[in-house]
Structure 1
Amino acid sequence: MKRSLVSLTLISTLFTPVAFAAPPRTPDQTVECEILVAGGGLAGVASAYEGLLAGKTVCLTEITDWVGGQISAQGTSALDERPTQRAKLLYPRGYIELRQRIERKYGELNPGDCWVSDSCFLPHDGDEILLSLLKDAAKKGKGKFKFFPATVIKELNTAQSGKIIDSAIAITHKPAKGAPPLNTEPLSKTITEAYTYANSSRFDKTIVRFVPAKPKKNSALAKSNAPNWYVVDATETGELVALADVPYRLGIDARSYLEPSSSSATSDPYCTQGFTYTFAMEETEEPQPQKMPPFYMQYSGYYSYELQRLASFPLVFTYRRIWSPDEGETISFGGVNFSAPVPKDISMQNWTWGNDYRPGTSADNLVYTRNQLQATKQLQPGQWMGGLRQESLRKAEEISQGYYYWLVAGTTDSQLGTGVKEPHPNHRFLAGLDSPMGTVHGLSKYPYMREGRRIIGRPSWGQPQGFTVWEIDISRRDYNDDYYKQTLSPDTYRRLKAALAGLETTAVISGAEPATKAMRRTRSTIFPDSVGIAHYAIDFHPCMVKSPPEAPGNIERPGERLGAGQAYPFQIPLRSMIPQKIDNMLVAGKSIATSHIAAAAYRVHSFEWSSGAAAGTTAAFSLERAIAPFQLVDQLPQQEPQLEALKRRLKENGNPTAFPDTSIFNENWEDWK
């Protein structure tokens, strides 16, 4: 373990300030911002929302033309929530407003009558609702909202020895004259041109230069050397994290006392969670013609209901049903009660052994590692192309289209054998600009991402190698299991027990129980710099062993699901949002400093919003106080008065930073479902 910690420290010192090239022509426009948010998903929207309510000028860029990420452009419009948190409505104020606006839009919170969530709805409505929410926030807070859809960040320019981002160059694309509209072709066919400066037969480009707005005369900011704007990376894969070349991780972390359920003794950056192109399908009165895609047989050996208790088409169809104008009769399968599908019902599909694409090798991983970025020259000035493997995007699009055909016409099941799958031809694939996904091809505009680059926070009290939220910080797992005694070295196992004993039970603290018996924590770690909350299970969609993922007989990475399971309600520490090297960047969403296992819980809708609300509030607070975010936490565990002021602001604004009765003496977290 000591060697791996040292190596992380060495890696962080090898990341040098990045040199950036000027664009090939003078930018077409220069735009001033106090807060620049890259990525219009839920974390990005929440960052913008809080910045606008604080009266700031907020610029928001988004690669698609919809805001909302998971609930819109990625098509995953089924809110992942836990029952207790939902019942108590312990969410940030903006997320509560989102839920209320969904309910007002439809007259109910769950117009799809799905059973995976209390709220399933149409993706295009997610975009509409969030845009109105942002415009209302700007009006209420007297902020300025500048939205740049179909826009990507191409370059970051730094000053002060690379510590400050002083400008950003972006490319906005729109259809060229005579070209088809946006969303005609899937992402794999357009992503390269989106990141290219030159106009093409598809797109005309506008080059935008983002710069900080000048601080008001005589303000504390104008009189200080503090950053005069903030850049928030809320992208789905940590694009700015890679582009700024700050230290980060990808994929599996090495097994350790902090990550004892890791599936590997060494780190593996290629095994990230699967990603998914969602689509919508409608139940019809009559059978529809179903055309086999020409590539179907390549993927046919992959598709499956996965488990016998899930081997029901009506069960799968209604799991994420997003529209149901008429309620069917109540039926049951596998212990689940749900209303039967009826004609005109619309279902969104997001299924592990269906349209998940799960590469796990260096030959097909989607999110490029730093070495791969160097090999493809994307870290050279002006060469950034998004950091994703185009071929894996293409194959993910194909596997999703093939999955629809399997659902309606397939008769095989790769995991359950013959005699399980039956055809269901009374359905049609919904495509077109007016379809739920808003695309001519019918797939989501961007894949639903479960994992991307995760920053390594700055060296901190208790974590000199760089701050990270680890598995043992949140998991309910009982580490007294023989697996850990047999798999971990004696020294590592002792360190695990010591870590669990540290602050985990009042019995250990009082001396009523020896530390050696502290094998299971009774709550998640309490962070003094918590700026948000979330709760979800540690949920895995593991990578596959062989390349390509759809190879016949391929299996999931052994041991990946060991870390899965229930988690206690957890916190979002500010240290997890502050990258190394750069002082005016904050990270929100899935790229905060979490381990591979912890990230499997820190990725759902309400978490994204909470982290984004924290980022937007922290940026506004830092501008007003003329202080950099890292200065709020650099003296921990000593008292940090400015940090306490930030936490008070979050709480007063309706953005909780702790669950009720959070303390080391509260051991009643087992009741949280």
Structure 2
Amino acid sequence: MKRRNFIGSIAAGSTVLSSTSIVTGGGIVESHSKIEKSKASLKADVVIAGGGLGGCAAALGALRNNLKVILLEETDWIGGQLSQQGVPPDEHQWIETHGATQLYRDFRQAVRQYYKRNYPLTESAKGREYLNPGDGSVSRLCHEPRVTVAVLTDMLASYISSGKLTLLLEHKVVSAQVTGNKVASVDAIDKKDGKGITLNAPYFVDATELGDLLPLTGTEFVTGTESKSETKELHAPEKGNPGNNQAFTVCFAVDYQPGEDHVIQRPAEYDFWKNFIPKMNPAWSGKLLDLSYSNPKTLEPKQLGFHPEGISTGDKLNLWNYRKIISKDNFLPGTYNGDITIVNWPQNDYFLGDLVGANEKEFKKHFERGKQLSLSLLYWLQTEAPRPDGGKGWPGIRLRKDVMGTEDGLAKYPYVRESRRIKAVFTIKEEHVGAANRALITGKESGNTAAEFYDSVGIGYYHIDLHPSTGGDNYIDFASLPFQIPLGALLPVRMENVLPANKNIGTTHITNGCYRLHPVEWSIGEAVGLLVKYASEKKVLPRVVRENKELLKEFQEFVRREGIETEWR
């Protein structure tokens, strides 16, 4: 038998759709390709589409409560933002002690232990309780994407061995069978050979990066910006635009080898990107490929620094140090010739096309153009970036293809900041979490807290950080308050067995800016995994858990016992 890329038993005789079908609440309306017969079919207690942080957390929450899980991942790496997208964790200042789930902190500790166990660290680094392998300034735990994959794989290993978890790498859901308000099954394809598989379960979790299951299952959703008249949010535009979504970024890793020449072939679109001036409102500071950009908070021109040996650039942020994932000084002499850093900077944010709602052809086009932008930035750094000595370019900057695990050296998947969002039972708005908006509501100039949600199933914090958008908005960046995650934002208005576990919860375009980061996505996913367990055990719909006061109280006690904080302390 030919070896397939999934683990688990296979049943015979199921019918699979080989491409996406248009689905409404009443079922399949139209299919864009003929039905083919497949022998592959699997069943579990819950199917989770998307192996990012939310998907893995949802799986772990369900698995440790003895549910059987099928977890699909479109790429060959689990870990989402931290791995396939190459983004070190964006976290709040209290992350080491509170403000995240215990399981997320266990994951972080396991990353540190992985380095201490497997790498030749200096004695100083080995003895550091809060080791930061890269000493990057963006995070207290800047580390390599591959380490995320290794640690998450270890966390899932026993469940795979016991048969409780079926992990389908390089698989994508392409259609769904829906009856009324429930999904009966979904069909996925193996991206390597195009073969189909039908997945059956009482519950389906959308942990994809773009909310892919929502249109396939007929789950109501929104995209882009809402108008001020719709949400009454302080920072909302006067006119909404469903096609106005944040930029995505194609990240890559580099190191620096002084005296060597690692200049890449001139990218095909280099002339375009070298001269590209973003058309933003308010205006951008100049060319995109420059060390000047718009200050996210004030939108005034701001200078950045750059030196690939980590040398101080005065009062300017040295971009090299910002997302540095390996600091050679943390390792024994001779281990690394130089530091390794991730390039996820203002200069490679791509906003000339929208991935949210894009078809396969459009997705590929914009992903490729995003890659051209990132390669153009690399070539510019190697050949034209200003040096402190008055020269131009750093030819010793080397693209580290091995770090991202790809032939072209670029991330396996775009770093996505915005997704389709469910129309939820409850929508989180700026009035609930925005510092200035809360001040207007309370009438207090200071001492405000975020809204208290009676149905809280988690907590998180990040400032509201919206990157330049496909609709021409410049940065929207302002203070938020430590917030709760309300259960109502995880419940679709109509569908009964579809749940979100990524950036697709019930936020607005504005509040997505603080609910979209790594530890919050994890908290959302873990809460959803526990919700599936609780609702299944009680034999009630997830929405009934929120509607029934006794059930809600019991569920909140359950998640707290499982290590999820529901209030800030």
Asked if structure 2 preserves the Cα contact closer than 8 Å seen for 1:253 and 1:262, the reply is: no
Counterpart of 2:456, as a letter, is: S
1:397 to partner: Cα distance: 1.2
**1:581-615 Cα deviation digits (max 9, x unpaired):** 21011111100000111000101110010000001
Asked if structure 2 preserves the Cα contact closer than 8 Å seen for 1:239 and 1:386, the reply is: no
Partner of 1:641: 550
Partner of 1:664: none
Aligned alpha-carbon RMSD (Å)? 2.6
Asked if structure 2 preserves the Cα contact closer than 8 Å seen for 1:320 and 1:347, the reply is: yes
Partner of 1:296: 270
Aligned to 1:118, the other structure's residue is in SS state coil
1:170 paired to 2:188: yes
Partner of 2:320: 317
1:131 paired to 2:153: yes
Distance 1:303 1:261, change over 3 A: farther
1:151 aligned to which of 140, 149, 171: 171
Asked if structure 1 preserves the Cα contact closer than 8 Å seen for 2:432 and 2:438, the reply is: no
Partner of 2:379: 405
1:453 paired to 2:436: no
Partner of 2:222: 249
Asked if structure 2 preserves the Cα contact closer than 8 Å seen for 1:153 and 1:169, the reply is: yes
Distance 1:233 1:388, change over 3 A: farther
Aligned to 1:168, the other structure's residue is in SS state strand
TM-score norm. by structure 1 comes to 0.70
Distance 1:569 1:356, change over 3 A: same
**1:222-250 Cα deviation digits (max 9, x unpaired):** xxxxxxx2100010011011222322221
1:90 paired to 2:91: no
Aligned to 1:600, the other structure's residue is in SS state helix
Distance 1:327 1:646, change over 3 A: closer
Counterpart of 2:320, as a letter, is: F
Distance 1:420 1:451, change over 3 A: farther
Asked if structure 2 preserves the Cα contact closer than 8 Å seen for 1:15 and 1:247, the reply is: no
> After the TM superposition, which residues 642-657 of structure 1 pair with which residues of structure 2 at under 5 Å, given as runs?
642-657=551-566
Distance 1:575 1:395, change over 3 A: same
Asked if structure 2 preserves the Cα contact closer than 8 Å seen for 1:633 and 1:643, the reply is: yes
Partner of 1:33: 44
Distance 1:171 1:544, change over 3 A: closer
Partner of 1:112: 134
Unpaired runs of 5+ in structure 1? 1-13, 175-203, 213-228, 329-341, 374-384, 459-466, 481-496, 502-516, 546-555, 661-673
**1:544-593 Cα deviation digits (max 9, x unpaired):** 55xxxxxxxxxx525x52xx212111111111111122101111110000
Counterpart of 1:273, as a letter, is: Q
**1:463-509 Cα deviation digits (max 9, x unpaired):** xxxx21001111112677xxxxxxxxxxxxxxxx5xx24xxxxxxxx
1:407 to partner: Cα distance: 1.8
Partner of 2:18: none
1:289 to partner: Cα distance: 4.0
Aligned to 1:167, the other structure's residue is in SS state strand
Distance 1:579 1:72 in 2: 29
> After the TM superposition, which residues 235-634 of structure 1 pair with which residues of structure 2 at under 5 Å, given as runs?
235-256=208-229, 258-290=231-263, 291-301=265-275, 302-305=288-291, 306=293, 308-313=302-307, 314=310, 315-326=318-329, 343-352=337-346, 354-359=347-352, 364-368=353-357, 389-411=363-385, 422-431=392-401, 435-458=402-425, 467-477=426-436, 500-501=441-442, 517=443, 522-543=448-469, 556-557=472-473, 561=476, 564-634=477-547
Counterpart of 2:57, as a letter, is: A
Distance 1:565 1:38 in 2: 32
TM-score norm. by structure 2 comes to 0.82
1:294 to partner: Cα distance: 2.5
**1:204-238 Cα deviation digits (max 9, x unpaired):** 222111113xxxxxxxxxxxxxxxx2100010011
Select between 279-288 and 582-591 the one with higher mean Cα deviation.
Answer: 279-288
Partner of 1:381: none
> After the TM superposition, which residues 71-86 of structure 1 pair with which residues of structure 2 at under 5 Å, given as runs?
71-76=82-87, 78-83=88-93, 85-86=94-95
Aligned to 1:103, the other structure's residue is in SS state helix
Asked if structure 2 preserves the Cα contact closer than 8 Å seen for 1:258 and 1:472, the reply is: no
> Percent sequence identity over matched residues?
29
Distance 1:88 1:411, change over 3 A: closer
Distance 1:309 1:529, change over 3 A: same
